[in-house]
Chains A and B, each alone.
Chain A
Amino acid sequence: MCLTQLFLQNEAAYACVAELGELGLVQFRDLNPDVSAFQRKYVKEVRRCDEMERKLRFLEKEIKKDSIPMLDTYENPEAPQPREMFDLEATFEKLENELREVNQNEEMLKKNFAELTELKHILRKTQQFFEEVEYERRRFGRGRGVSISQDTSDDQQPLLGDYSVAQSRMKLGLNEGERQALDSLAMEDAPSHHDGTKLIAEREGQPKPHLKFVAGVIQRERLPAFERLLWRACRGNVFLRQSEITEPLTDASTGAPVNKAVFIIFFQGDQLKTRVKKICEGFRATLYPCPDTPQERREMSIGVMTRIEDLKTVLGQTQDHRHRVLVAAAKNVRMWMTKVRKIKAIYHVLNFFNLDVTQKCLIAECWCPVTELDRIQLALKRGSEESGSTVPSILNRMDTSEAPPTYNKSNKFTQGFQNIVDSYGIAAYREINPAPYTMITFPFLFAIMFGDLGHGTIMLLAGLFLVLQEKRLEAARIKDEIFQMFFTGRYMIFLMGCFSVYTGFIYNDAFSKSFNLFGSSWGNIFPFPLDEKAREQAITNLGGLEASPMLIPEKAYSGEPYPIGVDPIWVLAEANKLNFLNSMKMKAAILVGIAQMTFGIILGYHNFKYFNSKLDILYTFIPQIIFLSCIFIYLCLQVIMKWIAYDAAGGYSVLGYFYPSSNCAPSLLIGLINMFMMKSRDDGFVDGNKYCNTSIPPGKPGGCNMVGLCHLNNWYPGQHLVETILLVIAIVSVPVMLFAKPYFLYRRYRHKTVHYRDLNDDDVPIVLNGDGGGVSGSYPVRTNILQRTLATC
């Protein structure tokens, strides 16, 4: 990496940055960090882009609202020239205005439509109310058999004008509130009379107290509160009937469906009328004129219906127009969005630049990889040519003491691995990039855990599919996050599959079944006598095994191991299959894991050596490697030793101790625990450490007398001493690892500050352009120690 300075002609800067942007190889530095966002040079352009983006978002929203598919070609349009911006702006402006106008018209029409629909419902429902009343009145009158004055013809029929109706209503099981309302209404009507017929008879000829009503529509969910408030505010002197409109109406402004209900309120007097109207207004209920007589209502209803029909056609035309506009826009909206974003990004970058003194060119600083300088030069040249500028752009390498950003070159194969490594932390500039090693170790470690031939094959095929279909899948642009994850890791999946097949083969494991390719090395030691008795006899002969048959290593094992991988016989072992496989796999995993850790530490050593950091080598690398070898590498050696030196049969000496049989093979897990506990153990496996015969029962002469639990004993001379020393060294290296480096850095820092104070009393330290300041305040010892603790963990 190197820091470079770019001198760009004012008019060429845009094109050059556009070219560099397409290349994606440089990282620009903000040269005016102190200037706030709205004081920069190209803020006007950025703002124009914002505005364009807003318009596009508006368009997109409208397109989505009509669920028109947006054409997405996935082509990558070139960043448009600055002068194209005006065209784009004009296009968007025109589209937006057109759309707004259409929307406005549509909204108005829809509002009209909604109002008319509501009116239609009101007329229909009120008609029902009135008809109900009429029916009840007739029935009631007929039932009583009393003459009802004939001259109260249909048209003049006052609503609820007589008490009898109220009475009959009550019988129909009206709720409490309604009953009260009716009661009070009736009381006002006829304070002293209880006989309705009498009342009517009396009333004939005199002007009737007129009940008025208003009808309207209200949102269904507001109805209960509305009713309650109405009741309270008018002291129960109004009567409300309501009925739900079953089909949801659409809200004119938002287009969302709303449920509404029709209500009709009866009341008396003008004061109540204003009050009721106020409440209606407060609850945003819309009132509609509703004529008094059925005749007029019918006429109005017909009028409304025709108007609704007319409106429907107009509305249809408006919607068609809107649809056409949107479909035309939908073809381009995605591409426009990309273009606008590119312009915006370019101006953002241009805002990073400095103007030089002559105001003729812009100065930019950027990091770029040294190997790619040629391509960058070329891009600059292209940019300058495109803009028709006469003076070429100049690229100038600068010297700096700043640490450059890390740039890891990657291709489609390494990208996935690089991502994984980066998620743990990006290596500092010039540190060894661990990603290439990861390409083998990561899938291999995965396979050690996963190891199954069958599953591995499936995985391999899946990975292979992704790899082979890579071009097609890439073109399909599947946005799904999970799929993206798999797709970017396709090479990793492929490799993991390969390695899993290998380890699965070694583990001899495919879907938990095994192959017997070369013939097992274990044979059956049980004869097959036909009768029960003979078999029992045979088993007793074989060493008194009770119920579970067991292959005794000494007898069943042929002496030649299975050529490669795990012997298939182990699948049949019911009791100790897991014990054996777990122990084997765990040991293998420990070996590979520790090898990996050691390798990591050695990589660290190379880093330290490259940066010439003696402190790190002395106080980080050395204690780390000591710690590791004292405990873990020692353990690995033990594992290998156990595998090589202790076999199934036994009866020979290993490292000076007589090893009688496989049940005395040293237990490493318990051994490790004992090492930490520094527990004293017996030496050797058998009494007196001399040859004995395992076939002779213990206690008899020549038989093996095991010392305690023989597999827990020390298994080489001086083991206790060696382990104690290793442990002490390991423990001692921990504080060195943690505190030594911070301490020495702290000492150096204090030494330095004192040193500086003597020399630079009146010297101002020279600060490079854009350089961050040095460490200010006290040296952060604590943070450093913390960091190291975390790293060690």
Chain B
Amino acid sequence: MGEFFFNIDHGYLEGLIRGFKSGLLTTTDYANLVQCETLEDLKLHVQSTDYGNFLANEPGNITVQVIDERLKEKLVTEFTHLRNNSLEPLSTFLDYITYSYMIDNIILLITGTLHQRPINELISKCHPLGSFEQMEAIHIANTPAELYNAVLVDTPLAPYFVDCINEQDLDEMNVEIIRNTLYKAYIEDFYKFCEKLGGKTAEVMCEILAFEADRRAIIITINSFDTELAKDDRQKLYPTCGKLYPEGLNGLARADDYDQVKQVCEYYAEYKALFEGSGVNPGEKTLEDKFFEYEVKLNVQAYLHQFHFGVFYAFIKLKEQEMRNIIWIAECIAQRHRSKIENYIPIV
């Protein structure tokens, strides 16, 4: 039923986002980018795509960092336009998208402060989509409780943080746990929100978020081997809205090495394929890349449906992937490391 009235409130933005999506680089664009010899070549070629003159006003030689900044700037401009023109419930949905960047920024800042880096340097590294007012004051906090009470209580992330409040000092392990707990709470909350929205949005978004949850669970498990993270602590970090829940997650909680993880995932058709095609040998793709590819596939599929919010999420994610690709190619060119230049994730 919601589909009938979708266009009244969100038709313009959906049209816009589909236009943006069709501006994503194509395989021929990538094929041309890969051939570039210098960053100047890259700039020249990118000019002929949807990015247009986004690098035209840069004096002197461009660096990868400048490209990265401009790319982010463009994404933020587009996103801000969408956000400013959106109506409920789309605006809340778009806010949800920014929360994940906020979590990343908080973690980045805390880790940076732990390593005694100056705050200004850290701020410039933060993702602009996830910036919030109190962000720069994070470094006053020494314990999670302080962090919550002083800084985060006013942000939308506050409810996610409740589980992490304790009086322990912040250290690296702690920060990782905070990150994963926040993410777990965030993904579950986002999942619930999408379910509440119902309709096509729920159908598309739950699929994507379930994959996101499972990916996190699998990666947490794999990364936790040979660390001091206890198994039941680990299980607490798994988001419970994925397809692995509950049996798969139990299996993951018991796993001791990579092969056991693989075994658990054998029972799930989607993930089995991902594990089978991956490896660390040269010529094989890493599991991470496989996950990225699968994510891209899900996001592209979101565009096969009409009248839902999934396209907005998918666009941001696809754009992020595209930015990663461009940066990857640019880095390979800048560092004269051409053998790995083909390792970007194509968006098809």
Binding site for B on A (CB under 8 A): 36-39, 43, 46-47, 50, 53-54, 57-58, 96, 222, 225, 228-229, 232-233, 275, 278-279, 281-284
Q: Which residue of chain B is the closest to A50 with respect to CB atoms?
A: B56
In the assembled complex, the Cα of A558 lies from the Cα of B35 at a distance in Å of: 91
Per DSSP, chain A at the interface is helix
Inter-subunit contact A232/B45 (CB<8 Å): no
Taking a contact as CB atoms under 8 Å apart, the answer to whether A282 and B140 are in contact is yes
Please list 13 pairs of residues, one from A and one from B, whose beta carbons are closer than 8 Å in the complex, sorted by A's number.
A37-B44, A38-B37, A54-B58, A54-B59, A57-B56, A229-B134, A229-B137, A232-B150, A233-B137, A233-B146, A281-B136, A282-B135, A282-B140
Distance in Å: Cβ of A233 to nearest Cβ of chain B: 4
The answer, among B41, B58, B59, B138, for a CB contact under 8 Å with A282, is: B138
Contact of A228 among B35, B37, B154 (CB under 8 A): B154
Find out whether the CB atom of A47 lies under 8 angstroms from the CB atom of B44.
yes
- Bound Cα distance A57, B40 (Å): 19
- The reply on B177 being an interface residue by CB < 8 A is no
- Whether the pair A278, B140 counts as a contact (CB closer than 8 A) is yes
How far apart sit A37 and B150, CA to CA, in the bound complex (Å)?
54
Is B149's beta carbon under 8 Å from chain A?
A: yes
Q: Which of B113-172 contact A (CB under 8 A)?
A: 119, 133-141, 146, 149-151, 153-154
Contact at A37–B119, with CB atoms within 8 Å? Answer: no
Cβ of A57: which chain B residues have Cβ within 8 Å of it? 56-57
- Taking a contact as CB atoms under 8 Å apart, the answer to whether B35 and A36 are in contact is yes
- CB-nearest residue of chain A to B138: A282
A47 to B41 CA separation, bound complex (whole angstroms): 10
Interface contact B44-A38, CB-CB below 8 Å: yes
**Residue contact A225 to B134, C-beta cutoff 8 Å:** yes
- Chain B interface extent, by class: 20 to 34
Q: Which among B45, B57, B138, B140 is the interface contact of A37 at CB below 8 angstroms?
A: B45
Q: Which of B35, B57, B119 makes the CB contact (< 8 A) with A54?
A: B57
- Distance in angstroms between the alpha carbons of A474 and B346 in the assembled complex: 52
Instruction: For B56, list chain A residues within 8 Å (CB).
Output: 50, 53-54, 57
CA distance A357 to B91 in the complex (A): 62
What are the residues of chain B within 8 A of A225 when measuring CB–CB?
A: 133-134, 154
CB of A278 within 8 A of CB of B45, answer no
Q: How far is the CB of A99 from chain B (nearest CB, A)?
A: 12
Asked, given contacts A278-B137, A278-B140, whether A43 binds B154 with beta carbons under 8 Å apart, the answer is: no
A237 CA to B71 CA in the complex, in Å? 44
The answer to whether residues A282 and B44 also contact, given A50-B56, A54-B59, A225-B134 and a CB cut-off of 8 A, is: no
Chain A residues with Cβ below 8 Å from B133 are: 222, 225
Question: A36-B32, A37-B45, A38-B45 are contacts. A283–B40 as well, Cβ < 8 Å?
Answer: no
A132 to B137, CA, bound (A): 32
User: A225 to B134, alpha carbons, bound, how many Å?
Assistant: 7
- Report the bound CA distance from A407 to B2 in whole Å: 52
- Given the complex, which residues of B lie within 8 Å of A37, measured CB to CB? 44-45, 47-48
Q: How far is the CB of B105 from chain A (nearest CB, A)?
A: 13
- Are B36's CB and A282's CB within 8 A? no
In Å, the complex CA distance between A284 and B153 comes to 20
A278 touches B153 (CB 8 A): no
| Interface positions of B (Cβ within 8 A of A) | 32, 35-37, 40-41, 44-45, 47-48, 56-59, 119, 133-141, 146, 149-151, 153-154
A275–B142 CA distance with the chains assembled, in angstroms: 11
A38, B49: Cα distance in complex, Å: 13
New contact pairs (16) apart from A36-B32, A37-B45, A58-B57, CB-CB < 8 Å? A36-B45, A38-B36, A38-B40, A54-B56, A54-B57, A229-B134, A229-B137, A229-B151, A232-B149, A233-B140, A233-B146, A233-B151, A282-B119, A282-B134, A282-B137, A282-B138
Cβ-defined contact, A283 with B44, below 8 A = no
A96 to B36 CA separation, bound complex (whole angstroms): 29
Residues of A within 8 Å of B141, CB to CB, are: 233
Q: Are A284 and B136 in contact (CB under 8 A)?
A: yes
Q: Which of B37, B44, B136 has the most CB of A within 10 A?
A: B44
Picked from A39, A54, A233, A281, the residue with its CB within 8 Å of the CB of B150 is: A233
| Nearest residue, chain B, Cβ from A228 | B154
Contact of B136 among A58, A233, A282 (CB under 8 A): A282
Interface centre among A57, A96, A232 (most CB of B within 10 A): A232
Q: Who on chain B is nearest to A277 by CB?
A: B140
Within the assembled complex, what's the spacing in Å between the Cα atoms of A503 and B150? 81
Q: What's the Cα separation between A232 and B140 when bound, in Å? A: 11
- For the complex formed, measure the closest distance between the CB of B169 and the CB atoms of chain A, giving whole angstroms: 16
Chain A residues within 8 Å of B44, by CB: 37-38, 43, 46-47
- State how many angstroms separate the Cβ of B70 from the closest Cβ of chain A: 14
Give the chain B neighbours of A233 by CB distance below 8 A.
137, 140-141, 146, 149-151
Query: Which A residues are CB-close (under 8 A) to B36?
Result: 38
Residue of A nearest to B59 (CB): A54
* Interface-centre pick from A36, A46, A47, A233 (highest chain B CB count, 10 A): A36
* B141 nearest CB neighbor, chain A only: A233
Chain B residues with Cβ below 8 Å from A279 are: 137, 140
Q: Within the complex, what minimum Cβ distance (angstroms) separates A771 from chain B?
A: 22
Closest chain B residue, CB of each to CB of A100: B59
Task: Assess whether A283 is in contact with B136, with CB atoms less than 8 Å apart.
Answer: yes
A38, A47, A222, A232 — which one has the most chain B CB atoms within 10 A of its CB?
A38
Task: For B150, list chain A residues within 8 Å (CB).
Answer: 229, 232-233
Shortest CB distance A432–B (Å): 38
By beta carbon, the residue of chain A nearest B109 is A282
Say how far A107's CB is from chain B's closest CB, in angstroms. 16
Give the distance to chain A from B9, nearest Cβ to Cβ, in Å: 29
What's the Cα separation between A232 and B32 when bound, in Å?
A: 54
Query: Complex Cα distance A279/B119, Å?
Result: 11
Smallest Cβ distance from A354 to chain B, in angstroms? 21
In the bound assembly, the distance between CA atoms of A38 and B38 in angstroms comes to 10
Q: How far is the CA of A50 from the CA of B44 in the complex (A)?
A: 10
CB contacts (< 8 Å) of B119 on chain A: these are 281-282
Count chain A CB atoms within 10 A of each CB in B36, B59, B146 and give the residue with the most.
B59
Instruction: For the complex formed, measure the closest distance between the CB of A238 and the CB atoms of chain B, giving whole angstroms.
Output: 13
Q: Which residues of chain A are within 8 angstroms of B59 by Cβ–Cβ distance? A: 54, 58, 96
Cβ of A526 to closest chain B Cβ, rounded Å: 61
Chain A, Cβ-Cβ closest to B41: A38
Instruction: Specify which of A47, A225, A282, A283 lies most central, judged by the most chain B CB atoms within 10 Å of its CB.
Output: A282
CA distance A66 to B133 in the complex (A): 33
- Residues in B with CB closer than 8 Å to A232 are 149-150, 153
A505 to B153: give the CA distance in the assembly, Å. Answer: 80
Q: How far is the CB of B126 from chain A (nearest CB, A)?
A: 13
Give bound CA distance, A37 to B41, whole Å.
Answer: 8
Query: What separation, in Å, do the CA atoms of A46 and B154 have in the docked complex?
Result: 52
Bound Cα distance A284, B37 (Å): 42
Inter-chain contacts of B47 with A (CB < 8 A) = 37
Residues of A within 8 A of B135 (CB): 282
Closest A-B pairs by Cβ, 4 of them: A282-B137, A282-B136, A233-B150, A38-B41
Give every chain B residue within 8 A of A278 (Cβ-Cβ). 137, 139-140
How far is the CB of A256 from the nearest CB of chain B, in Å?
Answer: 18
Closest to B146 in A: A233
By beta carbon, the residue of chain A nearest B136 is: A282
What residues of B have a CB within 8 angstroms of the CB of A281 in the complex?
Answer: 119, 136
Nearest CB of chain A from residue B88's CB, rounded to whole Å:
24
| CB closest chain-B residue, reference A279 | B137
Alpha-carbon distance A415/B148, docked complex (angstroms): 71
Shortest distance in angstroms between B116's beta carbon and chain A's nearest beta carbon? 13
Task: State in angstroms the CA–CA spacing of A278 and B58 once bound together.
Answer: 34
Whether the pair B149, A275 counts as a contact (CB closer than 8 A) is: no
Give chain A nearest CB distance to B77 CB in angstroms: 17
A47 to B59, CA, bound (A): 13
Most chain A CB within 10 A, of B56, B146, B150, is at: B150
Which residue of chain A has the shortest Cβ distance to B139 in the bound complex?
Answer: A278
Residues of A within 8 A of B137 (CB): 229, 233, 278-279, 282-283
Instruction: Quote the shortest CB–CB distance from A42 to chain B (angstroms).
Output: 12
What distance in Å separates the Cβ of A96 from its nearest Cβ neighbour in chain B? Answer: 8
List chain A residues, Cβ under 8 A from B40. 38, 47
* Distance between Cα atoms of A57 and B57 in the complex (Å): 8
CB distance from B45 to the nearest CB of A (A): 6
